Structure 1
Amino acid sequence: MKNLFSVIRPAVVSTLVFGVVCCGFYPLAVTGISKLAFAKKADGSLIVDGNGKVVGSELLGQNFSGAGYFHPRPSAAGAAGYDAAGSSGSNLGPTSRKLADQIKERVAAYRATNGLDGNAGVPADAVTASASGLDPHISPANAALQTDRVARARGLPVEKVRELVSANTDRATLGFLGEDGVNVVKLNLALNAISPSAP
């Protein structure tokens, strides 16, 4: 019995010590350092409006559908899309008839919404969902095709809308890692700031 306790005691003490270090001190140290060094990112990259109200996150897309807004890419997260509790892709593969039909419908709707010719090319991100269903970015090509519609709906000069698109474009890391992306949430909030009434 004495031998049993001599084996159990160090195991229990080790578990407690590692529990306190790994589940207490380490997370607190990492959280403290991140709050000091990257305060905005550590809090979720929240977007706060002029009244101090949190209106979203730079990292999570939202569904915008009015003519005066840039539309995000489709989302398969939740029944209505952009549901953070239901983050996922559609799980439809390249040979899926359902996916092919969805894309065909989305291409036609995108062309109609943006006043494009029936044979106009449509960027892939305009008609396919991201893996998470929560991506806040669209490609610059997608934003460019929506610019005229948004400017017309809001009564703004096209050049002003293009400036806002450029200002809300996140460039590829180091200029070559990843691709440029236009943050739709930030862009639409910037549009609301200069032209509050959007159809």
Structure 2
Amino acid sequence: MKNIFSILKLTLFMVVLLAVIYPMAIFGIAQLAPNKGKGETITVNGKVVGYQKIGQKFDKSNYFWGRPSAVDYNAAGSGGSNKGPSNPDYLALVQKRIDTFLIVHAYLKKSEIPSDMVTASGSGLDPNISPQGALIQVKRVAVARNLSESKVKALVETKINSPAVIGTATVNVLELNAALDELK
């Protein structure tokens, strides 16, 4: 009986600690963060259109496309495909993505396609592409929107995010597409 009482006390203590105190502490800390812990949103005309750190699917020709997603940009089930680079199914999928990309971007050669445009990220939710990935899409987007390539390219160049210290430059696809919608 003594052991049962001790176990019940420990269980109650852990429930209060992990189900009440810890979540409230994290919530309190989040209130000190920008946007009160609700994530970094991107707004257009006062309306939230998405989150800066979560990718969205764009597949129309008048928008820049992001990285492929193994989970179709479903944030509830984020993850990669778990297939290795020598897996025949994975290689076939990447080849299919390359073929599709080349059909829509007939002006490109296979060797000009950056790997991030045909391979999914580990999370399946990557909001960024390489500057090269954005620049090779300029012609398609410019034609689809009846804009000059130089105007679209200039917009892309303003949206390139350079790393603070080390890393690679990126372009946030949602930010780029939101700015693209504002172009006249």
What TM-score bracket applies, with the shorter chain setting the length?
A: 0.7 to 0.9
Query: For residue 170 of structure 1, what is the amino acid of its counterpart?
Result: N
1:32 aligns to 2:28 (yes or no): yes
Matched residue SS, 1:132: coil
The aligned counterpart of 1:193 is 182
The aligned counterpart of 2:41 is 46
Gap runs ≥5 in structure 2: none
Closer, same or farther: CA 117–190 of 1 in aligned 2, 3 Å: closer
1:146 aligns to 2:122 (yes or no): no
Bigger mean CA offset, 107-116 vs 144-153: 107-116
The residue correspondences of 1:33-182 to structure 2 (distance < 5 A) are 33-39=29-35, 42-52=37-47, 54-77=48-71, 81-172=72-163, 174-176=164-166, 178-182=167-171
Query: For residue 38 of structure 1, what is the amino acid of its counterpart?
Result: P
Query: For residue 149 of structure 1, what is the amino acid of its counterpart?
Result: R
Query: For residue 43 of structure 2, what is the amino acid of its counterpart?
Result: V
Percentage of identical aligned residues = 39
Displacement of 1:51: 4.0
Highest Rg: 1 or 2? 1
Closer, same or farther: CA 131–186 of 1 in aligned 2, 3 Å: same
TM-score by length of 1: 0.77
Gap runs ≥5 in structure 1: none
Task: Supply the distance in 2 between the matched residues of 1:11 and 1:86 (Cα, whole angstroms).
Answer: 36
Displacement of 1:101: 2.0
Query: For residue 49 of structure 1, what is the amino acid of its counterpart?
Result: V
Closer, same or farther: CA 151–175 of 1 in aligned 2, 3 Å: farther
Closer, same or farther: CA 16–90 of 1 in aligned 2, 3 Å: closer
CA-atom RMSD in angstroms: 2.5
Residues 98 and 110 in structure 2, CA contact (< 8 A), matched pair in contact too: no
1:21-67, Cα deviation, whole Å (9 max, x unpaired)? 44433432332232223326x10222233143x32211211111111
Task: Supply the distance in 2 between the matched residues of 1:76 and 1:119 (Cα, whole angstroms).
Answer: 22
Closer, same or farther: CA 36–130 of 1 in aligned 2, 3 Å: same
1:82-135, Cα deviation, whole Å (9 max, x unpaired)? 222332222221222222222222222222312324454211111111112111
